[in-house]
């Protein structure tokens, strides 16, 4: 009887966008520890170098590409470079995102489009290029995980573009799941709550308000869910969202975390 290893990614190559610090970096390291080779993307060269170094320090193999994933030409060039110099990938994690803290009345057109392009359009562009490459290479099995947010499920003050973009990620995931299933490619999303540092920030101190389990998420919490969804252990799961939110979405917006009894 062979030993069973949960979420074994041996022999898999995965592309991760938004691979800088926080959730992206932890996903990269977790996938590498599970046996995957990881192709890493970020717009910030220093952040990307840090994640490549973290993967290599964990004993993994990584290849980094600086590219703007909201630019169609840059996306195609990135996939071509990875395929040629690193090898074709059969897994994808769309994690690139930004937020601009503005409401509907305060948002400029330029800021609105910037958030949507990086947070939502990148998922379409990279997912499309990935799928076309899978078909071209006649790869029969693959998986995609798109990173959503609790902000995708309900409204927030001063986050109109981000909430809208992440809500789009949820339904784009479902569309991809339906279209890509005949090619053997599964597509799911993971919904984090506040985990590690806020989006686009290097530090942050927040209280776990509205999280019934009484703590903020950790990047490892999200990485574990991504690992499972990508792996063949989730072979019959596609088109769903996995909330990794400590119970946030089962509460009414704005309620404080559960109190300990007694």
Token pair listed for 105: 């009345």
Report CA-CA distances (Å) from 196 to 27, 42, 199, 204.
13, 18, 9, 8
Report CA-CA distances (Å) from 44 to 31, 50, 66, 194.
21, 10, 7, 22
Question: Annotated catalytic residue: which of 63, 109, 162, 183?
Answer: 162
Q: For helices 23-33 and 219-230, what crossing angle results, to 10°?
A: 50
Token pair listed for 101: 């803290």
Token pair listed for 188: 């799911």
Rg of the chain in Å (alpha carbons)? 18
Is there a catalytic annotation at residue 162? yes
Active site residues per annotation: 162
């Amino acid at each position: 009887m062979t030993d069973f290893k949960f979420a074994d990614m041996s022999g898999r190559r995965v592309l991760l966008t938004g691979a800088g610090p926080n959730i992206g970096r932890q996903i990269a390291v977790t996938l590498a520890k599970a046996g995957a080779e990881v192709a890493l993307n970020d717009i910030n060269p220093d952040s990307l170098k840090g994640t490549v170094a973290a993967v290599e320090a964990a004993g993994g193999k990584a290849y980094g590409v600086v590219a703007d994933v909201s630019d169609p030409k840059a996306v195609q060039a990135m996939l071509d470079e990875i395929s040629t110099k690193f090898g074709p990938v059969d897994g994808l994690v769309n994690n690139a995102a930004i937020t601009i803290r503005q409401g509907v009345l305060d948002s400029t057109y330029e800021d609105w489009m910037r958030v949507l392009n990086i947070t939502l359009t990148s998922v379409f562009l990279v997912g499309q290029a990935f799928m076309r490459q899978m078909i071209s290479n006649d790869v029969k099995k693959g998986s995609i995980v798109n990173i959503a947010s609790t902000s995708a499920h309900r409204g927030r003050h001063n986050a109109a573009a981000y909430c809208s973009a992440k809500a789009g990620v949820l339904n784009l995931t479902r569309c991809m799941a339906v279209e890509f299933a005949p090619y053997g490619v599964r597509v799911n999303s993971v919904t984090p709550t506040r985990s590690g540092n806020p989006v686009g920030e290097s530090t942050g101190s927040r209280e776990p308000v509205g999280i019934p389990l009484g703590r903020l998420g950790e990047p490892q919490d999200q990485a574990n869910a991504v690992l499972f969804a990508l792996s063949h252990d989730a072979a019959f799961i596609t088109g769903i969202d996995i909330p990794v939110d400590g119970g946030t979405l089962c509460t009414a917006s704005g309620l404080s975390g559960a109190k300990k009894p007694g």
